[in-house]
Chain A
């Protein structure tokens, strides 16, 4: 494949990096006063990337025509599907971030630039078909994330979150690289296709160690139990728009990357890694559900909720079938809508004094003081709990269906039991909002962009979302087919 064909396949990535550099220059010359405009420009760029990526997803791009740079990078439908979710989540974050940081007078023009580079890193992650591409994408995304986590310089919690994320992220990268070196040593290649060929049939013990370490490193990035310890602290400490970002876009990228590594590179050894994924999945569901019960901070609660949801997504991965991969993608799409919606609702909980409240106790009686916001938040919570008329149920349903079809009935059964435990704390928030006496808090109205985003995500997770099932399912099936082409 010649260079020009490769370059045309990475058009969204080129657009992201060039516009990131240009916006960085604009940020340098125009200063922090222009940060709102730079954020809007970055949103427009993400929309352009969306338009550039969409044809590959709708057309179900796969195979040799999607390979770029001699097997380092692939722009297939699977990567495209993940990229669309990443753009959407990052765009939402860019809309809600400027008002938040401006309150603290800490909005800087570099924020949208860092988000763009993080998105570039995530694009590289989901398109990686080589261990080196995987690592470079992961580091680009992680480095931007560390800076974003500690962006609120005057807040100690934000600095703490950034430092914790950095130290633990570096540890995870080390574990991942150790696994990568073992896999390379025992298979003699870093390309996923080559590893796939080398692992077919008998597998050396060292390669098994390599697979385990690689999956452990990736489990850290998707915050699956037992590598989830950092999540509540980082999610609580990071500025809320950044937490929204962490809970949505990088999670999509890391899960898509894990799916590609597990199903493509380690595909022939599915029996070897399945038990790891099954354990991580069940442990995430249980720890996510039980850990959230005692939380009084809503950001911490949503952090445990994201751990819990990762558990359900991993059930789809454990199935190791095209249907399971497709179910994962459907679940991810719904999860992104729910997460962005919930965090936007949390961001809108501004008191008259201008501070953002994060305590669940302050939500009491919200149905009487801010009925519409309470309704939206209640819909999000019911959807996260997977209560049937809402769209969140559909994601859980397809995942469990895939697990049952792959003869993983006990896993599906335990997952359903776990989702019942999880429902408790989601519904607890609804109870606090609707049945408790109103707290003495004077609320300030949210901005237009917040209301628009909340309306979109609430509409998407409401029963109206079922209108999307056929369309979403067919796109996810195409994406999963692209992933399983090599098998």
Chain B
């Protein structure tokens, strides 16, 4: 019972926030609605027992992607009202695409009910052992069976980072950066000096 209630709650909120993402006038509000949609999507994932994907949604999509969207939306000066002005002009095209997609969906479901393509069956070596949470299962595969690939993928990311730095970094001679060590090494006697200037004359430093 409680699962059903939770499901309908999350599903309703996903749809509502999805609608508001499209409909809201302020793009920043759109992104905030999108974040709400992601959270509720994560809730749905927890309900079907895919807690890893739920966490991915929260950490990757909410934590990184949505915040990135937010930054982009706030930094770029896009006139969304003008973008929307084209809505009526492109309305027939949009309807046509929607119809095509709907027809594909219909065909796909029909074909599935007739009996799918003869695809191969997985060899079962990567199947989850019963009673293991899927985070533990993914972790065991990633750090066990696929350790070699996982580590090599890490090196790919390192190479991408080196590449980005090598291609864009250039030595600049005209900047004056702060040198903390030099600052800390400076003693009072180097910096201050006692003077006894005569009356009416300035200080010669």
Contacts and interface: CB of A to CB of B under 8 A. Distances in A.
Interface stretch (B29-37, B129-137, B161-169): B161-169
A178 to B, nearest CB: 16
Contacts of B83: none
A416 interface: no
B145 A69 contact: yes
B123 A194 contact: yes
B166 A114 contact: yes
Contacts of A185: 119-120
A153 interface: yes
Interface in B109-148: 117-123, 145-148
Contact of B162 (A24, A68, A72, A139): A24
A204 B118 CA distance: 8
A143 B163 contact: yes
A470 B118 CA distance: 49
A188 B123 contact: yes
Contacts of B170: 153
Contacts of A189: 120, 122-123
A144 interface: yes
Contact of B166 (A68, A70, A151): A151
A404 B117 CA distance: 40
B24 interface: no
A113 interface: yes
Interface string A152-172: 010000000010000000000
Contacts of B149: 72, 132-133, 136
Given A68-B148, A72-B148, A188 B120 contact: yes
Contacts of B121: 188
Contact of B120 (A124, A136, A186): A186
B22 interface: no
Q: Chain B: interface secondary structure?
A: helix
B160 A143 contact: yes
B167 A150 contact: yes
B156 A206 contact: no
A394 interface: no
Contact of B148 (A10, A143, A144): A10
Interface in A85-104: none
B36 to A, nearest CB: 33
A139 B156 CA distance: 7
A117 B161 CA distance: 13
Contacts of B147: 3, 69
Contact of A69 (B148, B153, B160): B148
Q: Chain A: interface secondary structure?
A: helix
A120 B155 contact: yes
A108 B156 contact: no
Interface residues of B, number: 26
Contacts of B120: 184-189, 198
Interface residues of A, number: 44
Contacts of A72: 146, 148-149
B26 interface: no
B152 A147 contact: no
Given A69-B148, A108-B166, A153-B167, A117 B119 contact: no
Nearest to A110: B166
A137 B163 CA distance: 17
A460 B121 CA distance: 50
A147 B119 contact: no
A178 B149 CA distance: 20
Given A73-B148, A143-B163, A147-B166, A17 B155 contact: yes
Contacts of B123: 188-189, 191, 194
Contacts of B167: 147, 150, 153, 162
A25 B139 CA distance: 30
Interface in A22-67: 24
A146 interface: yes
A290 interface: no
Contacts of A146: 163
| Most chain A CB within a 10 A radius of its CB, from B145, B148, B160 | B148
A68 B147 CA distance: 11
Given A70-B145, A136-B149, A147 B163 contact: yes
Contact of A143 (B119, B122, B145, B156): B156
Given A188-B119, A188-B120, A204-B118, A117 B159 contact: yes
Nearest to B120: A188
A162 B163 CA distance: 11
Interface of B: 117-123, 145-149, 151-153, 155-156, 158-160, 162-163, 165-167, 170
Interface of A: 3, 6, 10, 17, 20-21, 24, 68-70, 72-73, 108, 110, 113-114, 117, 120, 124, 132-133, 136-137, 139-140, 143-144, 146-147, 150-151, 153, 162, 184-189, 191, 194, 198, 204, 206
5 contacts: A143-B163, A153-B170, A162-B167, A186-B120, A188-B121
Given A117-B159, A140-B152, A204-B118, 6 more contacts: A10-B148, A24-B162, A136-B149, A143-B156, A147-B167, A198-B120
**Closest CB pairs A-B (n = 4):** A188-B120, A147-B163, A187-B120, A69-B148
